[in-house]
A and B are shown apart, each in its own frame.
Chain A
């Protein structure tokens, strides 16, 4: 070594002043990239604009009409007003319900995002919200707030999510049998498709109801989109679908007509898959 390099040395900063621990801003540096905010598409803007115009102008129109009726006769005015209020009340109630059901599904996203971030407090808050919405009679985990997050998660899984998953599977089995039967008796393939779609949507809504969601139209559409996404993974990761299917179809009723139609088996398999995917899509916490 050349003489120019000095030996190792520790230089302590001004005495008597404790230093802050270093902070590399690690949380921010490693934060999972947020999914790009899709924002509103042109089509939705268009749709919402049209709806606002339609609804807004009809409210104004109705207002004018009520005023005109009052000008004619007081009693006529009152009756018209009552009719208008009742009618628009129902319309707005429906819209409110749609919005609520749509937002309810968003809590699932929030809970999962918090879970992915490892934000224990936010996960627990989301779990409490979600529990409040569960249908009556559903077992709930108690005292989540005091628990470490792992324990809370395991408890929610055992007390609530696992039973829901079992019920969802039962619903899926029923739907599978019905779908199978439908193909056996339906006169035309076109009708099949219609019947399946209707049964499938009903199944998804039933499963969502288990999780405490009562989706309206917008909610159902969102839900179906999510289920479609999850179905890909469920189909791939679950060898159990085949087993459930065999279990369901060995019921005597199905056996009589088994073999008649391959389409029936395919349809039945889809129903079981759909039940699982719907369950996956509605879970507040991702499966362990």
Chain B
């Protein structure tokens, strides 16, 4: 920990203490999840349902129960002079409620929002004392960027070695064939030619894209290669991993850009948003990983552990300063893709998938929990007749076709499946139309398990 981080930590801790003293706590909630895990939808549903709960609707019964019905008001805190875009739940909700509906676009930039929750105090005289106001700080960002965090602890040589080892294995090697051929053909003393740098970058980026979009892989670095964000593909990105045999000008250029890239991500992303928070939700598309095959499944687990090593694991000093999360909730998202009876299995499977991440969080003293969650419930239980046998399935309306469909999601194993399981081949879950929603979201949105997750995550803080 550098001195500046220490000072920031001390200042942050003092502020937390002062706020707690006057009943104006601030809770920073980190929502982490790889791309397409469901972060944006989660935030939209969380905000809509909390606001509705603040108006007295029983959208989050388990949370209500956990805090003894003391939530009085919930509102969005008006914008100040932030330079960061605001997360826009109304727009997302409007698009989801529209006809035909749209899910949120791929997230390309940060956005933040704070909501104030006024709660009655816990004491028996709570009704007479002023209410406490807990401010919940939320952040949305492109999930791809999350994997830049582990890079901050590696130098270029170490990162290159690790990345290339991974890249030469399994389906990655197939997807990265052109790129691997390119670097293998490069002379070890290649000069610092921008044309070469750019060519390598393009091939590497295309390999990453192929891995993400066609093979369901997630441990793909650097994040901005896949999702360049509002600033586009600046020359800063023109680098790629090189084997240790490369020692010429090109390797030096790549190393310089690597360092500059990380510095940029650190100041824009890690320092402002990920050095200090109090609660964490880890969203995982468990079913998607399962359907994408063994490599994707294991890759997801590895990516989660790598991120958790940076995000959830505080050292003793950070823990003492209250900079590490005290509660971490893991959630298998899109639980409405499986019938009710398979949801416990989904949560159990998540427990295995997130083993590494969980270890990190618990080692730094956080309490962890596992949930199956549908931020927006899009299906109902149904029965599918397959080969003359009845199987529990779900029924929803397909997003693009607008037609009803019954979907049998396959068996959800309670633990990482046997090799034979993977023989069945890949399956891509279709996207569903959200149910009928009120565009103003005045009564929240239908969900599964959001209340239990929030009760567990925030119950003690309210």
Chain A residues near B (Cβ < 8 Å): 1, 5-13, 15, 17-24, 26-27, 29-33, 115-120, 149, 232, 235-237, 239, 288
Asked if B425 and A32 make an inter-chain contact with CB atoms under 8 angstroms apart, the answer reads no
CB neighbours (8 Å) of B433 from chain A are 21-22
- Residues on B with beta carbons closer than 8 Å to the beta carbon of A5: 391, 410-411
By secondary structure, the B interface counts as loop
B149 within 8 A of A: no
CB pair B408–A9 under 8 Å, yes or no, is yes
Separation of A23 and B429 alpha carbons in the complex (Å): 21
CA distance A17 to B402 in the complex (A): 9
A-B contact pairs, 5 of them (CB 8 A): A11-B384, A12-B405, A19-B397, A26-B435, A118-B438
Are the C-beta atoms of B408 and A6 separated by less than 8 Å?
yes
B387 touches A (CB below 8 Å): yes
Interface pair A8/B442, CB less than 8 Å apart: no
- The answer on a CB contact under 8 Å between B55 and A17 is no
Q: A12-B398, A236-B129, A236-B130 are in contact. Are A26 and B446 (CB under 8 A)?
A: yes
B421 at the interface (CB under 8 A from A): yes
Query: Which chain A residues border B421 with CB–CB below 8 Å?
Result: 1
Q: Does B243 contact A (CB under 8 A)?
A: no
Residue of B nearest to A238 (CB): B130
Given A6-B386, A19-B397, A120-B442, check contact A30 B57 (CB 8 Å): yes
Q: Are B430 and A10 in contact (CB under 8 A)?
A: yes
Nearest B residue to A21, CB-CB:
B436
Q: With both chains docked as a complex, state the minimum distance between the C-beta of A135 and any C-beta of chain B, in angstroms.
A: 30
Distance in angstroms between the alpha carbons of A232 and B386 in the assembled complex: 64
Question: Given A1-B418, A32-B55: A24 and B377 within 8 A (CB)?
Answer: yes
Beyond A8-B291, A22-B436, whether A1 also contacts B411 by CB under 8 A is: yes
Residues of A within 8 A of B104 (CB): none
Whether B57 lies near A13 (C-beta < 8 A) is: no
- Of B127, B131, B396, B444, which is within 8 A of A232 by CB? B127
A236 (CB) vs chain B CBs: closest residue:
B128
Chain B residues 411 to 461 lying within 8 A of chain A, measured CB to CB, are: 411, 413, 417-418, 420-421, 424-425, 427, 429-430, 433-436, 438, 440, 442-446
Q: Which residues of A contact B404 (CB under 8 A)?
A: 12-13, 19
* A6 and chain B: residue at smallest CB distance: B386
Q: Could you tell me if B430 and A1 are in contact, using CB atoms closer than 8 angstroms?
A: no
Bound CA span A19–B130, Å: 51
Q: With contacts A1-B421, A24-B446, A116-B55 known, is A6 near B387, CB below 8 A?
A: yes
Contacts of B417 in A (CB 8 A): 1
Residues of B within 8 A of A10 (CB): 405-407, 430
For A18, list chain B residues within 8 Å (CB): 402-403
